[in-house]
Amino acid sequence: MSAGAPVGAAAERLSPRQMARRFLEGDLASLRVILAIALIWVIFASQNDRFLSATNLTNLFLQITAVGLISIGVVMALLIGEIDLSVGAVSGFAAAVMAVLHVKSGWAPVPAVLAGVATGAAIGLLQGMLFTRFRIPSFVVTLAGLLTWQGALLLVLGSTGTVNLSNSSITDLANTFYDPAVGWAFAAAGVVAYGLVTLAGHRRRAAAGVTTEPPVPLALRVAAVAAVAIVAVAILNSDRGLPLALLILLAFTIGFQLLITRTAFGRHLFAVGGNAEAARRAGIKVDRIRVVAFTLCSSMAAVGGILAASRLLAVNQSSGGSNLLLEAIAGPVVAGTSLFGGRGSVWSALLGATVIGSIANGMNLLALQSSVKFMITGGVLLAAVVVDSLARSRRRAEGRV
């Protein structure tokens, strides 16, 4: 290498074998997941021509919003190398608190929703403090929480078992659709914002003397985002329009991605997940980071539960149950966030929810038996965990862990 070659340039020249290994082992997780989504859609479309209809795809986007929001919180726990098994129960309990306060106690919609989110935050704070204070494994604390908050859900709902929601301020969260012009405006604004952020990051790296991505791949990345935005809005506009619920999911995804990539707290999350002892010696308050991570996790579970209640127009004894916990945890793992901590992205919540949601939606259209659905979903999760484990072993062997 010449003296004037940029540091790290050699590392960017990868052989086809190295590229294939990165693709399989998770370094190119987003690309792998996007291709997986495309393959899943092609398979189900070949079996049922309704799968790629505008109506079904709109329903798919609505179905993944609650799971995606909960998965954003799960990513916070996974980044520190922990897991929260109570997110499903917390989502149902927080939604029940919101519904009972609004319908039975006469609270206004906004205070009731805020109380539901605050309930989730308080639960996360409690579980995080129990975990850090008594050094109990997080899966034990949150497994106990799963049982506790399921019981609390039944207690809050009382003998009626179901609380119906009719106030438009709550139900419109998941049942509002915007006109085509509004959808195109959001798409244009999103693409322009992404392009400006990408360009700013490129210039910042160049000014710092760090190896930068060539202009052509940058332009292709922006073009790909633009293409996805155009196709998505065109599909949504051909049905009911751009849903507010999807905008809420995107807003939280972008906000939390900025939180973990552009703030000191985010850097500390990765440090704690990568090596807690090294983080402690570096002066990072490890226990505080863990408590905040669990608080954010349960808060997002509450947000997801409230949006699910808005879509279903009710809260009942099964809220937060069924496959919700499995899907909320499986999504980020399938999309590349490591179960071992220190590695991942909030975008994995959105991409993973799309993968899991697409599989569930397609299987429902094909009217597959529940036994088959469970086995396929479990197999997808197992495959993702195996890939994650292989990637971690490879990085450890190469001295990158």
The contacts of residue 139 (CB under 8 Å, 6+ apart) are: 83, 85
203 token code pair: 């210039």
Choose among 141, 71, 94, 59: nearest CA to 327.
Answer: 71
Helix ranges, 9-103 (H): 9-12, 16-25, 29-47, 54-79, 87-103
pLDDT tens for the chain, 401 residues: list them: 333 433 333 334 545 555 555 545 444 567 778 888 999 999 999 999 999 999 999 999 999 999 999 999 999 999 999 999 999 999 999 999 999 999 999 999 999 999 999 999 999 999 999 999 999 999 999 999 999 999 999 999 998 889 999 999 999 999 999 999 999 999 999 999 999 998 988 888 888 887 777 888 888 888 988 999 999 999 999 999 999 999 999 999 999 999 999 999 999 999 999 999 999 999 999 999 999 999 999 999 999 999 999 999 999 999 998 889 989 998 998 888 988 899 999 999 999 999 999 999 999 999 999 888 888 888 887 887 787 777 767 767 766 55
pLDDT for res 7? 38
CATH code: domain 51-176+263-397 is 1.10.3470
Assign 197 to helix, strand or coil. helix
Choose among 150, 109, 65, 48: nearest CA to 366.
Answer: 48
The residue ranges of every structural domain in the chain are: 51-176+263-397, 180-240
HSE value, Cβ hemisphere, 13 Å, CA-based, for 249: 28
**What stretch of H or E contains 364?**
helix 347-365
Confidence (pTM): 0.90
- Beta bridge partners of residue 178, listed in sequence order: 242
pLDDT for res 95? 98
Choose among 28, 29, 57, 19: nearest CA to 334.
Answer: 29
**Distances 121 to 39, 129, 300 between C-alpha atoms, Å:** 38, 12, 8
68 token code pair: 């995606």
The contacts of residue 361 (CB under 8 Å, 6+ apart) are: 44, 51, 56, 59, 60, 63
What is the C-alpha to C-alpha distance for residues 17 and 394, in angstroms, rounded to an integer? 14
Amino acid identity at 209: G
pLDDT for res 206? 86
Give CA angle at 387 (266, 44), nearest 5°: 100
Give CA angle at 329 (327, 335), nearest 5°: 90
Say which DSSP state 263 is in: S
